[in-house]
Amino acid sequence: MTAAPAPIACDLLVVGGGINGTGIARDAVGRGLSTVLCEAGDLARATSSASSKLIHGGLRYLEYYEFRLVREALSEREVLLRAAPHIIWPLRFVLPHNPGLRPAWMIRLGLFLYDHLGGRKLLPASEGVRLRRHRYGKGTKAALDKAFVYSDCWVQDARLVVLNALDAQERGAQILPHTRLIHAERIGRRWEATLERADGTRLTVSAAAIANAAGPWVSDVLNERLGRKTDKRVRLIKGSHIVVPKLHAGDQAFILQNADRRIVFVIPYEGDYSLIGTTDHDYQGDPAQVAITPEETDYLCAIANAHFEKQISAADVVWSYSGVRPLYDDAAANASAVTRDYTLDLDAPAGAAPLLSVFGGKITTYRCLALEAVDDLLTALGQPVNAGLGRNWTAAAPLPGGDIPNADFDGFLRQLEAEYPFLPPDLARRYARAYGTRSRRMLGPAQSLDAIGADLGDGVYEAELRYLRAVEWAQTAEDVLWRRSKLGLHVSARTQMAVVDWFKGSAQALSA
């Protein structure tokens, strides 16, 4: 008979393994709080892997006078770019002008603010172009001429979550994916929580504080798991994306205006594809069951077809995904107008253990949200906010694999290719992009392809699967093919099944 796991005592229990939860765990452990994070499924299983994959200021938020949010987001672009230049990189965005929608003067004013609000240093400024004379116009419809171009950044969103969790663990936090919170109650100055692993094993955690960062389930955790009530509400907004064969040449993205005043991005994706999104609809169902509708697919195709020569339909969609954004309910009538800013709700009665719940937020400002959340928790616990590594330590600390000299990814790639000359160029680039300097840990002293294990097909080698299982909490083929990477778009069905079988065999070997 297996003995029950020993109880865990910690300063902070974080509930939720998305970007906000892992960001809070990382910041907290760096400031001296012993931290445990539990996540009911895989890390980044929900909203945090269903974004538009952008680190951006949010140009359209200026229309809603969200100047503080935009300024904070613009400042964060370059902070995050320096912290993880392997999974984050600059991207130019082309905004074709439609005189029947937003006037040119409004766009110019917005871009002037965009260039100057956030203290831009690394990214190039905005400019106006004529698409018919510019390379950016190739593949766009002839009626489109005037356009505006500006900069933001791209991010591998699910990897950003995993790297925050990995850094937190390496600094002393316990990260428990596939472990859900069953119940927690205040007993004196502590929370006594019961967690349950996927195999049914239960463990108890005694925590001085809880951070509820459960995303779409934040209210469920509050009401059902913690027995707490609040006047703050989460508004679930569904966003869907489609992936189609690439619509245009070049590495620029497009931001397209629509008659309903929404905007849709068309972004180069995984080399061979275009990512198109997103939609905005209120959502009432189970966040775990969210899926794109035929109407959303048609909506996204129609906007793309209005701007590009290459016409698409639902038959061209090779993959789609949907997510539920748990936004703070500010009572906006239109789903697109709901604030993307975050609200932190601190429940800290005198003499009782504090509880902080996260409402809203966006991936770009997760680090700022975490900083403010840990400030609130430390203050509630009677500890200085500058404890440990200091209040803003995450601003200068690279994420795992991001310690690339001068954030020069191309220079690092050349160095990696020189160190491992047997790697095919495409594979070396993929490893460098996914793992940065941690590629060396994965590859070790290998001097040939044979030394990194069997090829399961299409360049998927065992060394990568072993690394993802041992270091990045991957337990299934889906974890690898659709979250830690997007290999599912590139490899054959046979290779996908080989990865499924590998994980099955690995699980059997571990349980033997």
Where, residue-wise, is CATH 3.30.9.10 in the chain? 88-153+235-328
CA-CA distance, 61 to 442, in Å (whole number)?
A: 41
CA-CA distance, 337 to 487, in Å (whole number)?
A: 34
Which DSSP letter does residue 225 get? I
CA-CA distance, 504 to 500, in Å (whole number)?
A: 6
Cβ atoms of 96 and 131 within 8 Å: the answer is yes
Element (H, E) at 478: helix 477-478
Q: Which residue type, as a one-letter code, is found at position 268?
A: P
**CATH homologous superfamily, domain 405-511:** Alpha-glycerophosphate oxidase, cap domain (1.10.8.870)
Where, residue-wise, is CATH 3.50.50.60 in the chain? 8-47+159-233+340-395
**Comparing C-alpha atoms, which of 278, 271, 276 is closest to residue 304?**
276
Cβ atoms of 341 and 328 within 8 Å: the answer is yes
pLDDT score at 305: 98
| Topology annotation, domain 8-47+159-233+340-395 | FAD/NAD(P)-binding domain (3.50.50)
- What CA–CA distances, in Å, run from 216 to 20, 130, 154, 171, 356? 12, 42, 24, 28, 15
Q: DSSP 3-state assignment of 15?
A: strand
Render each residue's pLDDT in the chain as its tens digit; 512 residues: 456 788 999 999 999 999 999 999 999 999 999 999 999 999 999 999 999 999 998 888 887 678 888 899 999 999 999 999 999 999 999 999 988 888 888 899 889 989 988 888 889 999 999 999 999 999 999 999 999 999 999 999 999 999 999 999 999 999 999 999 999 999 989 999 999 999 999 999 999 999 999 999 999 999 999 998 877 778 899 999 999 999 999 999 999 999 888 999 999 999 999 999 999 999 999 999 999 999 999 999 999 999 999 999 999 999 999 999 998 876 665 655 566 688 999 999 999 999 999 998 889 999 999 999 999 999 999 999 999 999 999 999 999 999 999 999 999 999 999 999 999 999 999 999 999 999 999 999 999 999 999 999 999 999 999 999 999 999 999 999 999 999 999 999 999 999 999 999 987 666 55
CA-CA distance, 55 to 47, in Å (whole number)?
A: 15
Q: Residue length, the chain?
A: 512
CA-CA distance, 136 to 311, in Å (whole number)?
A: 18
Q: DSSP 3-state assignment of 136?
A: helix
Q: Which residue type, as a one-letter code, is found at position 183?
A: H
Cβ atoms of 171 and 393 within 8 Å: the answer is no
Cis peptide leading into residue 278 (ω within 30°): yes
CA-CA distance, 307 to 254, in Å (whole number)?
A: 10
pLDDT score at 30: 98
Q: Which residue type, as a one-letter code, is found at position 354?
A: P
Structure tokens belonging to residue 338 = 């709901």
- Per-residue burial over 469-479, b = 16 or more CB atoms within 10 Å of its CB, e = otherwise: bebbbbbbbbb
Which DSSP letter does residue 479 get? I
- What CA–CA distances, in Å, run from 174 to 5, 17, 46, 196? 14, 12, 21, 15
pLDDT score at 1: 42
Element (H, E) at 128: strand 127-130
pLDDT score at 238: 96
Q: Is 90 left (phi over 0), alpha (psi -120 to 50) or beta?
A: beta
Backbone angles phi, psi at 343, to 5 degrees: -130, 130
CA atoms 304, 305, 308, 312: torsion sign? positive
CA-CA distance, 176 to 41, in Å (whole number)?
A: 9
Instruction: Break the chain down into helix, strand, coil percent, rounded to 5.
Output: 40, 25, 35
Backbone angles phi, psi at 394, to 5 degrees: -70, -15
Q: Which CATH class, in words, describes the domain spanning 88-153+235-328?
A: alpha beta
pLDDT score at 230: 76
